[in-house]
Structure 1
């Protein structure tokens, strides 16, 4: 019975991630990029200025500063998707899938600009009277109350999409590979269950603190984990500098031929790349707008500019470094491993003995920070659907699901999360397209005022 259900989940996941979702995410991103006249890409410098706190005003509405909002959003994206998700992409679609991850991420920049601008522009109030931002609210506030069923559908799918199944599974696997196996402790259902319980207790102690506490924690953890991971991966890459150009050549060649994957087709490789990019940076899925909707600002466009940096940091930079480490070390050719185990083998190959322990430390930061951030999204979704009186029940459900993830099959987990992500994307992209004229008008006004301000200071 369980095996049939698992296979059904994987089959539905493969079916739903076909042409419709591909057209939706890539087509939507291309539309937003052209419609905005490349504004997200043209104002990256200004976005970095906003991130430094230059425009922060503590008296403006919201709960988080620009930096904290981006850190919270990145905690939900810069994580296991960048470490084991990239390995899954290469295993399923070959190195060429990385190229399509880049394409998806570049288009995702404009998608995040629009969705996160709308999250501030159309903030609503929950039943407790507190101002909230996010897709549920900009759908109902921007398109009207008759769109509430669509917003509720998104919220229900999001509660599944932001579950800790993948993070708990891969963190458990890493502990098994690095801690248990070297000490001759055989991995079993019981050991994974114990690991899951320990993780759930630790996460449970943190997530009850709420969004302000999560913002503070992730604000400190995200830069630390990115720096440690970046330095290590760059060492692996540049200690094999002669293989960098061949690695890129492999990516570009395989992106259009599929030679690296048995029976691979161009369509399958593109779908794999877009799938894993969505899992990595979540552009067009609606989670990041919930964090950015809590930013302390009256300028929707300003927050949209900050948000668009997410896919650049997450996929273009971090995912690419992981992919190069795996391709350069040739572990993807010589190993049958998948997920975090494949990445660990790449680290161990390049940095004998120490590599896997460095990765284990980074994985703890990645997975924990993601599991600290995700409950906030689930709480907001449950609060929207059932009312704020019941919203904190999600925290307890979240902690319990960690244990489920620790003892479940990786491919089934990926399939379930991918189904939820696909079903989240439809209401997000469609509603954002319908509301895009509001963002365009606000952008024109904001950049006009910005230009006048710069002119006045000269």
Structure 2
């Protein structure tokens, strides 16, 4: 029975991630880029100045500083999607899938600029009277109360999309394959269950503290996490400098030929790339606007500019380096492993004995930071649907689901998350398209004031 349910979930995910979702995410991102007159790209330097805290004002409305808002959003995206998700993309779609991850991410820069600007522009108040942001609020505040069913639909899908299933599963798999099995300490259902319980306890201690504690934790963890992982992967890449250009050639070649995909389908590569990019940077899905909507600012465009840095950091930078490590070491050809185990194999080949343990440390930071950030999104979604006073219940559900994820099948989990992500994208992108004239007008006003040095 459970196998049939799993097959149904996987098949449904493959059906949903077809032409309509590709048109929505890629077409929507292209529209936002052109409609904004390339504003996100032209003001990249200004975005970095905002991130540095130059324009922070503690008296402005909101809960998080610009840096904390981006850190919280990155904690939800810079995670297993960048390590394990890339391995899954290469396994399912070959190296060419990475090219389409890049395309999706570059267009996603504009999508995040619009959706996160809207998250501040149309902030609403929850049932406790506290200011909140996110797709559910810019749908109801921007489009009107008649659109509330769409906002509720987003919230319901969001509670599934930000569940800890994937992170818990891959963190457990990494601990099992890298630590427990090689040292004869376990590697069965019981050990996975114990690992899941331990992870659940640690996460539970942090997330009960709420968004301010999450912001403080992620603000410290994310930079360290990224630095350790980037340094290690760069070492692997530049240990074989002669293989860097061939690796890029493989990516570009397979992106258009479909040679590396079973069945040789170019469409399969594109779909795989876009699916895994969405999992990596979530542009257009709607979770990041919930974090950026909590930023301390009265300038929506300013927060949109900070938010657009997300896809560049997590997909263009981190995912690319992970892909190069896997391709350069030929682990994707030699190994039949999937997910995090494939990435661990690449690290072990490049740095014998120590590589897999370095990855284990990095992956622990990646997964735990994501597990710290996701409950915040879930509580906001539940709070919108049932009332803010009930939002905290999601934290307890989240902790229990960690244990479920630790002992579940990877492919079924990916299918379930992909379904919810696709169904989150429709209300997020469609509402952003309808509200895009508001962002364009606000952007023109903001950049005109910037040119006049009024800040």
TM-score when normalising by structure 2 = 0.99
1:385 aligns with 2:398: no
Q: Is the contact made by 1:84 and 1:339 (CA closer than 8 Å) also made in structure 2?
A: yes
**Secondary structure at the residue paired with 1:182?**
coil
Q: Is the contact made by 2:84 and 2:339 (CA closer than 8 Å) also made in structure 1?
A: yes
**Secondary structure at the residue paired with 1:453?**
coil
**Secondary structure at the residue paired with 1:183?**
coil
Alpha-carbon displacement from aligned partner over 1:276-305 (angstroms, at most 9, x marks no partner): 000000000000000000000000000000
Alpha-carbon displacement from aligned partner over 1:388-421 (angstroms, at most 9, x marks no partner): 1111000000000000000000000000000000
1:4 is matched with 4
Alignment of 1:203-352 (within 5 A): 203-352=203-352
**Secondary structure at the residue paired with 2:202?**
helix
Deviation at 1:186, TM superposition (A): 4.1
Alignment length (residue pairs): 455
1:162 is matched with 162
Give the Cα separation in 2 of the matches to 1:133 and 1:263: 44
2:417 is matched with 417
Alpha-carbon displacement from aligned partner over 1:78-99 (angstroms, at most 9, x marks no partner): 0100000000000000000000
Deviation at 1:337, TM superposition (A): 0.4
Give the Cα separation in 2 of the matches to 1:203 and 1:403: 11
Q: Is the contact made by 1:82 and 1:314 (CA closer than 8 Å) also made in structure 2?
A: yes
Give the Cα separation in 2 of the matches to 1:96 and 1:330: 15
1:138 is matched with 138
1:199 is matched with 199
Q: Is the contact made by 1:292 and 1:303 (CA closer than 8 Å) also made in structure 2?
A: yes
2:431 is matched with 431
Give the Cα separation in 1 of the matches to 2:442 and 2:279: 30
Q: Greater shift after overlay, 253-262 or 325-334? A: 253-262
Deviation at 1:188, TM superposition (A): 1.4
Deviation at 1:266, TM superposition (A): 0.7
Give the Cα separation in 2 of the matches to 1:72 and 1:184: 37
Deviation at 1:262, TM superposition (A): 2.4
Give the Cα separation in 1 of the matches to 2:70 and 2:286: 14
1:95 aligns with 2:102: no
Give the Cα separation in 2 of the matches to 1:338 and 1:389: 41
2:180 is matched with 180
Q: Which structure 1 residue ranges, 5 or more long, are not aligned?
A: none
2:76 is matched with 76
**Secondary structure at the residue paired with 1:314?**
helix
**Secondary structure at the residue paired with 1:389?**
helix
Give the Cα separation in 2 of the matches to 1:388 and 1:102: 38
Give the Cα separation in 1 of the matches to 2:102 and 2:184: 40
RMSD: 0.8
Give the Cα separation in 1 of the matches to 2:182 and 2:189: 18
Alpha-carbon displacement from aligned partner over 1:45-95 (angstroms, at most 9, x marks no partner): 000000000000000000000000000000000010000000000000000
Give the Cα separation in 1 of the matches to 2:50 and 2:275: 30
**Secondary structure at the residue paired with 2:389?**
coil
Alpha-carbon displacement from aligned partner over 1:301-352 (angstroms, at most 9, x marks no partner): 0000000000000100000000000000000001110000000000000000
Q: Which structure 2 residue ranges, 5 or more long, are not aligned?
A: none
Q: Is the contact made by 2:261 and 2:268 (CA closer than 8 Å) also made in structure 1?
A: no
Alpha-carbon displacement from aligned partner over 1:116-169 (angstroms, at most 9, x marks no partner): 000000000011111111111000000000100000000000000000000000
2:60 is matched with 60
**Secondary structure at the residue paired with 2:4?**
helix
**Secondary structure at the residue paired with 1:149?**
helix
Give the Cα separation in 2 of the matches to 1:379 and 1:184: 39
Q: Is the contact made by 1:93 and 1:264 (CA closer than 8 Å) also made in structure 2?
A: no
TM-score when normalising by structure 1 = 0.99
Q: Greater shift after overlay, 388-397 or 185-194? A: 185-194
